[in-house]
Amino acid sequence: MIDPRLYTVAVHAGTEPDPRTGAVMTPIYQTSTFVQEAPGQHKGWDYSRGTNPSRDALEAALAGIETAQHAIAFASGLAAEQAIVQNLAPGDHVLVCNDVYGGTGRLFRTVMGRFGIEFEFADLSDVDRARAAMRPNTRMVWIETPTNPTLQILDIAALSDIAHAAGAVAVVDNTFASPLFQSPLALGADIVVHSTTKYIGGHSDLVGGAVMTNDAEWAGKIRYLQFAAGAVSGPIESFLLHRSIKSLAVRMAQHDANAMAVAEFLDGHPKVRRTFYPGLPGHPGHELARRQMSGFSGIVSCEIDGDFAATTRFVKALEVFALAESLGGVESLVNHPETMTHASVPEPLRAELGIGPSLLRFSVGIEYVQDLVDDLARALETI
């Protein structure tokens, strides 16, 4: 269950009535620059790559919902991730969970890897293996949980301890859980990253990212990097995200309840081979998820009992679920990881992770749950 206090935090954090007009919502400060009274004398804002009042308000709201001291809002989730790893240096080693978001793997393998940073991908669900993989030059452990698309659960507290024992920092991609169902900083992680494009945005109408931390030194380094390199959240996106945060708690509660019902329907359906949802007692990460999460969030995956042609027929027969990439919006989506979100994952790794032709990932929206279940039931008839 969501900490009830977060319903209030989500509505109010970062929102102060506008001092000039009394406007209840922080206006969209669509400006690049700010007038100065004398050289170097201004009201705290000089250029919008540095700071902008719309972004400041968003960052206060983001810090509020993640219960973090610092939040930095980026132009995308990957821009936020890049700003974190750009603080590393050639020769540094990063231990990364092997089923990270496809774009994260691509950023690490094909872009940041060219700068002499070594990214090692390993199965971090095995804590002993993670400990054994630490090296003297390991500076960072990169954790994503629940993972995508098979919804593995990684032990944030144990992996953070392993990172700290080796003098490394633990970073958690908290996108799938949202700040309302998982608090990595409270579990010992140092840095949290979100693609705010997903649940925090929640309406499939913007791209954004955020970094949250209680570590003032890391916050300063990441903010400096953002200022130096420029991947900031613009005023309009900042405003939209800030508005979205106000309804985050009610949305997440509904995503969670609907996903549980969808998972229970799929689990054991004769046309479904396997259902992946951490809320199901048979899920291998269920007990750990119950310990470290306060809800199981809204993503459900399953394997259709049929080949690619049958899976395609099923997907085309769906009327409420739309076939699209991305997740976390109010509307229900279905994704075919092998050909869509995970097409860039190297084929041997895809096979190892169980991403085959019959696997589907559902982002369960906030519609009337019976309409979702009826849609799935109808489409399963085509198999």
Active site residues per annotation: 49, 101, 173, 198
Q: Does 77 participate in binding ligand PLP (rule CB under 6 A)?
A: yes
CB-facing half-sphere around the CA of 199: CA atoms within 13 A: 29
CB–CB of 181/297 below 8 Å?
yes
CB of 78 to ligand PLP, least distance (A): 4
Nearer to ligand PLP, 146 or 306 (CB): 146
CB of 49 to ligand PLP, least distance (A): 19
Q: Does 108 bind ligand PLP (CB under 6 A)?
A: no
Q: Should residue 203 be labelled a site residue for ligand PLP when binding is judged by CB under 6 A?
A: no
Under 8 Å between Cβ of 313 and 345: no
Query: 262 near 373, Cβ under 8 Å?
Result: yes
Q: Which is nearer to ligand PLP, 104 or 138 (CB)?
A: 104
User: Of all residues in this chain, which one has the CB nearest to ligand PLP in the complex?
Assistant: 77
Residues 129-168 as x/- pattern, contact with ligand PLP by CB under 6 A: ---------------x---x--------------------
User: Site residues for ligand PLP, window 173-192 (CB under 6 A)?
Assistant: 173, 175-176
283 binds ligand PLP (CB under 6 A): no
Closest approach, Cβ 79 to ligand PLP, in A, equals: 7
- Kindly state the tokens that stand for 239: 């405003």
Q: d(Cα 10, Cα 235) in Å, to the nearest integer?
A: 19
- Nearest CA to 166 out of 134, 190, 143 is that of 134
Residue from the set 11, 27, 31, 103 that interacts with ligand PLP by CB under 6 A: 103
Q: How far is the CB of 356 from ligand PLP (least distance, A)?
A: 20
Q: Where does residue 359 rank: exposed (0-12), middle (13-18), buried (19+ CB within 10 A)?
A: buried
Judged by CB under 6 A, which stretch of 12-20, 169-177, 230-238, 313-321 contacts ligand PLP? 169-177
The reply on whether position 195 binds ligand PLP by CB under 6 A is yes
Q: Using the rule CB under 6 A, is 76 a contact of ligand PLP?
A: yes
Angle at alpha carbon of residue 77, lines to 355 and 292, rounded to 5° = 70
Among 55, 93, 139, 198, binds ligand PLP (CB under 6 A): 198
Give the number of C-alpha atoms closer than 13 A to the C-alpha of residue 110, restricted to the C-beta side. 9
- Round to whole Å and give the CA distance between 215 and 140: 15
| Dist. CA 147–CA 36, nearest whole Å | 48
Question: Of the ranges 52-60, 73-81, 223-231, 311-319, which one interacts with ligand PLP (CB under 6 A)?
Answer: 73-81
Stretch that binds ligand PLP, among 101-109, 128-136, 239-247, 312-320 (CB under 6 A): 101-109
SS3 state at 313: helix
Which residue stretches of 150-215 are H helix? 156-165
HSE (side-chain half, CA atoms, 13 Å) at 141? 35
- Nearer to ligand PLP by Cβ, of 78 and 353: the residue is 78
How long is the chain?
Answer: 383
- Asked if 226 is part of the footprint of ligand PLP (rule: CB under 6 A), the reply reads no
Q: Which residues pair with 33 in a beta bridge?
A: 47
- Site residues, ligand PLP (CB under 6 A): 76-78, 101, 103-104, 144, 148, 173, 175-176, 195, 197-198, 207, 209
